[in-house]
Every structure is written in structure tokens, then in C-alpha cells.
Amino acid sequence: MPSLKRDNRRAVRRAALALAALSLAFATAGCGSMDFDKLNPFQEKEKKLPGARTSVFPEGVPGVDYNAAPPQPANSGYDYSASSASPSAAGSSGTTPAQ
């Protein structure tokens, strides 16, 4: 009989711990609008460095073609080198690239 009381205590303790963890999870999930910068315990404000702010690449990053399709992963199973070599190669292989 003593082991039955011990099992009940363990079950109650586990249920209380699970309830506490769930309530903590729900409480932190509701903090989406909280400003975490206000949690600074030392109340120090970060100072911006002096100097003019200019964009590094005003016309875009050199060497990057933003109109090109993103590269496919190596394990995609499709041979993109054949379709990029000539437009007729894609039609002769029987597969078409995804648009």
C-alpha cells in the first residue's frame, strides 16, 4: 500500500510540473508585442557611432543577378546543365524545368 501512495504523489507532482510548464509556455507566447530592449538590467543605451550613413551598394550587389532563378540543390535529381546549354536540349530529354 505505501507504494501506491508514492505513485500517486509522483503523478500529482508530474501533473503540477506539466501544468506549470504549460502556463509558462502560454505566458511567454503572449509576449509577442513586448519590447525586449526594455529588459536591459543596467539601463544603458547603446550609442550610435559617429559618421555619415551611406549605403554600401546603392545600385545592388555587384555580381548578383536578381532576375536569375535561384540555384537548385545538388540532390534535386534534375540536370540543369543540359537545359541551360541549349533550349532544344530540354525538349529532347523528355523533362521540362519547373517554372
63: left (phi over 0), alpha (psi -120 to 50) or beta: left
Q: What is the pLDDT of residue 60?
A: 85
Per-run averaged pLDDT (10 residues), the chain, 99 residues: 76 93 82 64 78 89 86 71 53 52
Distance CA 80, CA 93 (A): 11
Query: pTM value?
Result: 0.30
- Please give the pLDDT value at position 40: 66
Predicted pLDDT of residue 31: 66
Q: Is 87 exposed, middle or buried (0-12, 13-18, 19+ CB in 10 A)?
A: exposed
Identify the pLDDT of residue 89.
Answer: 45
Which pLDDT score is estimated for 64? 85
